[in-house]
Amino acid sequence: MKPTNRRQFIKHTAALAGAMSIGPSLHAAGANNKFILGVIGLGGMGSNHLRALAGYKDVEVAFVCDPDENRRNAAAREVEKSTGKAPRPVKDMRRVFEEKAVDAVVIATPDHWHVPASLLALDTGKHVYVEKPCSHNIREGRLLVDATRRAKRVVQVGTQSRSSEHVRRAMDRLHNGAIGEILIAKAWNSQLRANIGHAQSADPPSQLDYDLWVGPALMQPYQSNLLHSSWRWFTAFGCGDAGNDGVHDIDIARWGLGVNTHPNTMTALGGKYFFDDDQQFPDTQYVAFEYDAGGKKKQLIYEHRIWSPYVQEGHENGNAFYGTQGLMIFGKHNGWQLYGPRNKLIEEMRGSVSLEGHHRNFLDCIPSGQAPNADAETGHLSAALAHFANIATRLGTTLKFDPAKEQFISNDEANKLLRRAYREGHWAAPKGLA
């Protein structure tokens, strides 16, 4: 049957591609041959996505969504100025999900919304680009992986290094033995963050639907240093800087080390060594993970100091890979150097991360049905390391983990931190939490 309209075309191409791929296969091709998108969450990263997406000839941003009226209206004006066509501004993401014309959504909300929003989108047949970390906790990460497989849709996690040329080249060199067998990978997050001060409970600003912003998380009073952006320092809503900037470098470390499972052992030291404010996550962390796959042990080390007015090894956020025949010093924003014995420089490459490349990989995978560069499983394994780092630092002990069961071994206190509580009966609380 020859497709006669956009939705019939999507169904037709899905059937054809389904015979060739086990992955998702919905091709966006209306009269104007465009992907129809909604952008949910219009803060710093959401605005970056919006500006880039509005510039693509094969994308139409049809919805902008945020519980802050000022933000969503400003976003709508920006898209109209760029494209000549205004998207519909809405405050409730359900209005985006229920619109059948929308092919995909970009979720750039605070962390506590990442999985609940993604699950709702997948349930309505949308493809999903979700910002990092892909989950607020380890249990939610597993729910996202399972939902992606059920829905047979494309889910891309916003670790854009996975689609950046110089990063992919570095990983190729590492995986092909350029520094021998890699036994240890390090990731660091060394930068100077701001003191958020102390604040008391207050009424939220009139343009913000605070109840909608809190969503399925347990309600807590609004305070002035919670919004915007500083929510990431509060345990109910964020994952600290390990899950913010740190997860990018953790992901690269895990990729280069070549481990595609959870670690077996982890230990950590850290806490609030510097800031006297309302942040609830460590400003200082040193975490060691040990993998023991098939009797072969490897280490991944993560360290962060978010009070540092200087960089480490030439990079504010970076990586080092230690092999039996050399090492690589890596910075996603600058490039990398590969050294052999006696620190002989063998190869180097400059480069910077490409948000546009990550978008293009996501969009290309929708019609092809191929797995994207940062799929849900990839995002889950890397986000889990940030969660493990926070759990181990909080408990101040060595933890043993069962990767298959995704449970800590003989530690009930740690296992309680694998998930979180939700507001009873909330429409966005994930199902399948048993």
Assess whether pLDDT exceeds 50 at residue 20. Answer: no
Tens of pLDDT along 182-235?
999 999 999 999 999 999 999 999 999 999 999 999 999 999 999 988 999 999
99: number of Cβ within 10 Å? 16
Element (H, E) at 47: helix 44-54
Structure confidence at residue 434 as a pLDDT band (50, 70, 90): low
Phi first, then psi: what are they for 300, rounded to 5°?
-125, 125
- Strands of the 296-305 sheet, one edge to the other: 345-350, 335-339, 327-331, 317-323, 182-190, 296-305, 284-293, 265-271, 399-402, 407-408
Could you tell me the pTM of the whole model? Answer: 0.93
Distance between CA atoms of residues 56 and 61, nearest Å = 10
* 400: its two tokens: 């043993």
* 337: its two tokens: 């150097």
The residue-averaged pLDDT of 126-153 equals 98
Tens of pLDDT along 395-418?
999 999 999 999 999 999 999 999
Distance between CA atoms of residues 140 and 116, nearest Å = 8
Distance between CA atoms of residues 77 and 42, nearest Å = 13
The residue-averaged pLDDT of 373-393 equals 98
Furthest C-alpha separation in the chain: 67
